[in-house]
Protein backbone atom coordinates (compact mmCIF):
# COMPACT_ATOMS: atom_id res chain seq x y z
CA UNK A 1 0.00 0.00 0.00
CA UNK A 2 1.31 3.44 -0.89
CA UNK A 3 1.48 5.95 2.00
CA UNK A 4 -1.21 8.65 1.98
CA UNK A 5 1.57 11.26 1.87
CA UNK A 6 2.41 10.03 -1.64
CA UNK A 7 -0.83 11.49 -2.99
CA UNK A 8 -0.17 13.25 -6.26
CA UNK A 9 2.45 10.71 -7.32
CA UNK A 10 1.72 7.73 -9.50
CA UNK A 11 2.62 4.34 -8.05
CA UNK A 12 5.21 3.84 -10.79
CA UNK A 13 6.95 7.07 -9.70
CA UNK A 14 7.11 5.92 -6.09
CA UNK A 15 8.90 2.74 -7.15
CA UNK A 16 11.17 4.45 -9.71
CA UNK A 17 14.75 4.31 -8.31
CA UNK A 18 15.63 7.47 -10.25
CA UNK A 19 13.07 9.39 -8.19
CA UNK A 20 12.83 7.70 -4.78
CA UNK A 21 15.23 5.67 -2.67
CA UNK A 22 14.28 3.70 0.43
CA UNK A 23 17.30 3.06 2.62
CA UNK A 24 17.03 1.05 5.82
CA UNK A 25 19.32 1.78 8.73
CA UNK A 26 20.67 -1.76 8.43
CA UNK A 27 20.55 -4.40 5.75
CA UNK A 28 19.61 -7.12 8.19
CA UNK A 29 16.66 -7.80 10.44
CA UNK A 30 17.75 -8.84 13.90
CA UNK A 31 14.29 -9.64 15.21
CA UNK A 32 12.09 -8.03 17.83
CA UNK A 33 12.68 -7.19 21.44
CA UNK A 34 10.32 -6.19 24.24
CA UNK A 35 9.26 -2.88 22.67
CA UNK A 36 9.88 -3.27 18.95
CA UNK A 37 12.60 -4.19 16.52
CA UNK A 38 16.07 -4.79 17.85
CA UNK A 39 18.52 -2.02 16.91
CA UNK A 40 20.75 -2.38 13.87
CA UNK A 41 24.33 -3.24 14.64
CA UNK A 42 26.33 -0.07 15.36
CA UNK A 43 28.88 -0.91 12.66
CA UNK A 44 26.24 -1.21 9.89
CA UNK A 45 25.36 2.43 9.26
CA UNK A 46 28.94 3.79 9.23
CA UNK A 47 30.04 0.95 6.95
CA UNK A 48 27.42 1.34 4.27
CA UNK A 49 25.05 4.25 4.92
CA UNK A 50 27.57 7.07 4.48
CA UNK A 51 28.87 5.73 1.12
CA UNK A 52 25.29 5.07 -0.03
CA UNK A 53 24.19 8.62 0.80
CA UNK A 54 27.30 10.02 -0.88
CA UNK A 55 26.31 8.10 -4.02
CA UNK A 56 22.99 9.99 -4.00
CA UNK A 57 24.17 13.62 -4.26
CA UNK A 58 20.84 15.13 -5.37
CA UNK A 59 18.67 14.20 -2.38
CA UNK A 60 15.95 16.81 -2.07
CA UNK A 61 14.08 15.38 0.92
CA UNK A 62 14.84 12.71 3.51
CA UNK A 63 11.92 11.16 5.33
CA UNK A 64 13.27 10.00 8.67
CA UNK A 65 11.25 7.02 9.94
CA UNK A 66 11.76 5.37 13.28
CA UNK A 67 13.91 5.84 16.34
CA UNK A 68 17.15 4.55 14.84
CA UNK A 69 16.84 6.82 11.81
CA UNK A 70 15.97 9.78 14.06
CA UNK A 71 19.10 9.12 16.10
CA UNK A 72 21.27 8.87 12.97
CA UNK A 73 19.91 11.81 10.95
CA UNK A 74 18.81 14.31 13.59
CA UNK A 75 21.25 13.47 16.40
CA UNK A 76 21.11 16.09 19.15
CA UNK A 77 18.53 18.17 17.25
CA UNK A 78 15.78 15.67 18.02
CA UNK A 79 13.74 16.02 21.17
CA UNK A 80 13.51 13.53 23.98
CA UNK A 81 10.22 12.11 22.69
CA UNK A 82 8.85 11.33 19.25
CA UNK A 83 5.90 13.66 19.83
CA UNK A 84 8.15 16.59 20.75
CA UNK A 85 10.32 15.94 17.69
CA UNK A 86 7.24 15.74 15.47
CA UNK A 87 5.83 18.98 16.87
CA UNK A 88 9.09 20.66 15.84
CA UNK A 89 9.06 19.09 12.34
CA UNK A 90 9.39 22.47 10.64
CA UNK A 91 12.89 23.12 12.03
CA UNK A 92 14.18 20.18 9.96
CA UNK A 93 12.19 21.19 6.88
CA UNK A 94 12.65 21.28 3.89
CA UNK A 95 15.61 18.85 3.82
CA UNK A 96 14.43 16.35 6.44
CA UNK A 97 11.07 15.36 7.83
CA UNK A 98 10.90 13.16 10.91
CA UNK A 99 7.93 10.83 10.72
CA UNK A 100 6.41 8.32 13.09
CA UNK A 101 6.98 4.80 11.86
CA UNK A 102 3.88 3.63 9.96
CA UNK A 103 3.58 0.59 12.17
CA UNK A 104 0.41 -0.83 13.71
CA UNK A 105 2.12 -0.15 17.05
CA UNK A 106 1.78 3.59 16.34
CA UNK A 107 -1.96 3.68 15.62
CA UNK A 108 -2.50 5.10 19.11
CA UNK A 109 0.04 7.86 18.44
CA UNK A 110 -1.76 8.90 15.26
CA UNK A 111 -5.11 8.90 17.09
CA UNK A 112 -3.84 11.09 19.95
CA UNK A 113 -1.99 13.46 17.59
CA UNK A 114 -4.53 14.36 14.89
CA UNK A 115 -2.61 17.60 14.20
CA UNK A 116 -0.02 15.48 12.39
CA UNK A 117 -2.47 14.53 9.65
CA UNK A 118 -3.96 18.02 9.37
CA UNK A 119 -0.74 20.07 9.68
CA UNK A 120 2.15 17.94 8.44
CA UNK A 121 0.75 15.56 5.83
CA UNK A 122 -0.62 18.31 3.52
CA UNK A 123 2.77 20.08 3.54
CA UNK A 124 4.48 16.82 2.68
CA UNK A 125 1.98 16.09 -0.09
CA UNK A 126 2.56 19.53 -1.57
CA UNK A 127 6.32 19.02 -1.46
CA UNK A 128 6.03 15.63 -3.17
CA UNK A 129 3.95 17.22 -5.89
CA UNK A 130 6.63 19.87 -6.44
CA UNK A 131 9.57 17.46 -6.58
CA UNK A 132 10.26 16.23 -10.07
Domain membership of residue 44 (yes or no) is no
User: What is the per-residue pLDDT for 88?
Assistant: 95
Per-residue pLDDT of 72-100, as tens digits, reads 889 889 999 989 999 999 999 999 999 98
CA 75 to chain centre: 14
pLDDT of the residue at 8: 56
Q: What is the pLDDT of residue 1?
A: 38
For the entire predicted model, the pTM comes to: 0.81
Looking at residue 132, what is its pLDDT?
58
| 38 within domain boundaries | no
d(CA 64, CA 82): 12
Classify residue 58: in a domain, yes or no.
no
Segment (H or E) for 111? helix 107-112
- Would residue 118 count as lying in a domain? yes
User: Does the residue 77 lie in any domain?
Assistant: yes
Identify whether 40 is part of a domain. no
DSSP label of 76: G
- Decide: 39 and 68 in contact? Cβ < 8 Å: yes
Q: For the chain, which ranges sit under pLDDT 50?
A: 1-2
Element (H, E) at 32: strand 32-33
Domain that holds residue 91: 1-21+64-132
- What total number of domains does the chain contain? 1
CA dist 108 to 87, 88, 100, 102, 112, Å? 16, 20, 11, 11, 6
What CATH code is carried by the domain that includes residue 115? 3.40.470.10
So what's the pLDDT on residue 101?
Answer: 84
- Judged on CB neighbours under 10 Å (0-12, 13-18, 19+), 68 is buried
Amino acid sequence: MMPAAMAGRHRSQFYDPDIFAILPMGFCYLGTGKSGDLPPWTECAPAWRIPMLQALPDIKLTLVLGRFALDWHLEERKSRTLTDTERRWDIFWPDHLPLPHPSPRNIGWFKTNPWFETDVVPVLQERFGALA
